Chain A
Amino acid sequence: MIDFLTQLAANPVVTNALWPAFLETLLMVGVSGVATVVLGLPVGVVLFVTQPGGLAHNRPVNVVLGSVGVNITRSVPYAILMLSLVPFTRWIVGTSIGPIAASVSLTIAAVPFFARLVEAALREVAPGKVDAAHVMGSTRFQTVWKVLLPEAAPALVAGVTTTVVTLIGYSAMAGLIGGGGLGRLAYNYGYQRFQPDVMVLILVILVVLVQLVQWAGDAVVSKVDHR
């Protein structure tokens, strides 16, 4: 065991490549995470309010956004989505290599996922609260902004946590086609160069990272949950 650890500490992969790879993973997850919340929240809200009987029910918008936008994107496996988005990524970022480029496909994969979580979170808010907001004279925007979103806050934060954990998983895949990060490192050294110690180390790091995200998310949930 001691041997294993000293050997690992001396491994140039660990001493030179691990830290930059870790930062690349954080960058990918961070950029795509923020972009996903910023884009996914409004999409989820629109899905919710345009549903039949909703605050601003609008069948065409709901069908186009829900069935075409969200469902189609969600049915494409991420591995295929990221490859097919290479030209688009190049057009947006100017390159298809690097963590920022990888964030494009990560965001596009995660937005529909998060939007569905937002929609489900809003659906959990008791309809009586929306009625109350109405009879007190709220506009539709005020109903969403001052009532629905705050009331759904615990479920929304839990949704963000789930999305970030999913993004950590996807980021390993994105690393393979040029995103870099821990996934890339595990593949290049752990798999192709038969260094099981590197593989184990990266696994441990990922497990700890996911635990930390989940723990932080749960802490925020209990802070915003007044039920």
Chain B
Amino acid sequence: MIAVTDLKKVYRQATREVRALDGVALTVPDNSVHGVIGQSGAGKSTLVRCIALLDRPTSGVVEVNGTDLTAVRSADLRRARRRLGVVFQHANLFDSRTVADNVAYPLELAGVGRAERASRAAELLGLVGLAENADAHPAQLSGGQRQRVGIARALATDPDVLLCDEPTSALDPATTGEILDLIAALKARLGLAVLVITHEMTVVKRICDSVSLLEDGRVVESGPLTEVVGAFGSRLSESLLALPPAAGADSAEGGTVEVLDVGRDGELSALTTASRHFGVDFPVVAATVERLAGTTFGRWRVQVLPPLSPDEVVGYFSANGVQAGVTATTGSVR
């Protein structure tokens, strides 16, 4: 497991202080994937560099299985690092080495003998589905294959924690899916605590058990995926259940109401139930449905026509345990 506590990083630029990280806290238990999502400039890269101790945090604790990486130095830090595998956006493989020798590099540092290195590298390459390519050089591989090698290399020393820095941002959508599935499968198989830093919602939707939203160096929203998505109006809920733009909907007659429908057993019935209750139609102006972490979420924006008022509809939903809110009203409402 990995636990980050009150992580701060302050850069001094001439006379100005830049707070790149302002007290970040995260915990990723074993056998789970936590996503940190944020826009460029939110502090994602600094967070990765500080957790991997490529940059020293100004203050705070980075604990991997109980060892505080910020407190150990030189040889102890190098040993502690073997518990933490890092996957980079561009894989950062060594072009001068074959695929197998890339995977064996961390073992070489750990003083593992040649024969054992070779067999372990072969085993790891089998794990990521690249057993055939052991003797190839990285330049001969596709981007997705290179990332697989990067993952195998990160797992060479049998770490407990996998830190993935934008692991799929340089890949096409199909390859992104394959790499994410691989990460999820390895997590389950090896019981890894995986921390994924990304700007892609796809990554969060596909593999994360929990998620944090990073903004200006702070975690502004955080929690299990179903909880943050199920929180009506939260930033993560709105981004993960993004609605397509609905032209002219807001100026429509009456008003619009937004409903967050959570179908624990896969059924989304809030809207039809309401429609039957009021005996009217609710024209849908925008909608999205996602199945995340085993739960189906529906977000509807519907038109409420006079004489029914949007507030009345929202009131009905709230009374029935469905989160809803008024997004627009026009003067024509009584």
Contact = CB atoms under 8 A, between A and B. Distances in A.
Given A146-B108, A226-B137, A137 B81 contact: yes
Contact of A132 (B53, B86, B137, B139): B86
Interface residues of B, number: 28
Interface stretch (A40-48, A66-74, A123-131): A123-131
B92 A126 contact: yes
B94 A129 contact: yes
B109 A142 contact: yes
A227 interface: yes
Contacts of B53: 135
B78 interface: yes
A126 B82 CA distance: 23
A132 to B, nearest CB: 4
Contacts of A153: 96
Contacts of A128: 88, 90, 92
B241 to A, nearest CB: 34
B92 A131 contact: yes
A90 interface: no
Contacts of B143: none
A128 B90 CA distance: 8
Contact of A226 (B81, B108, B139, B157): B139
B111 to A, nearest CB: 11
A58 interface: no
Contacts of B138: 226
Given A132-B86, A226-B137, A146 B105 contact: yes
B140 to A, nearest CB: 8
Interface in A99-152: 126, 128-129, 131-132, 134-139, 142, 146-147, 150-151
Give me the 5 closest cross-chain CB pairs, A-B, nearest first: A137-B78, A150-B96, A132-B92, A128-B92, A226-B137
Interface of A: 126, 128-129, 131-132, 134-139, 142, 146-147, 150-151, 153, 224, 226-227
Given A126-B92, A150-B96, A226-B96, 9 more contacts: A128-B92, A129-B93, A132-B88, A134-B52, A150-B94, A150-B97, A226-B137, A226-B139, A227-B139
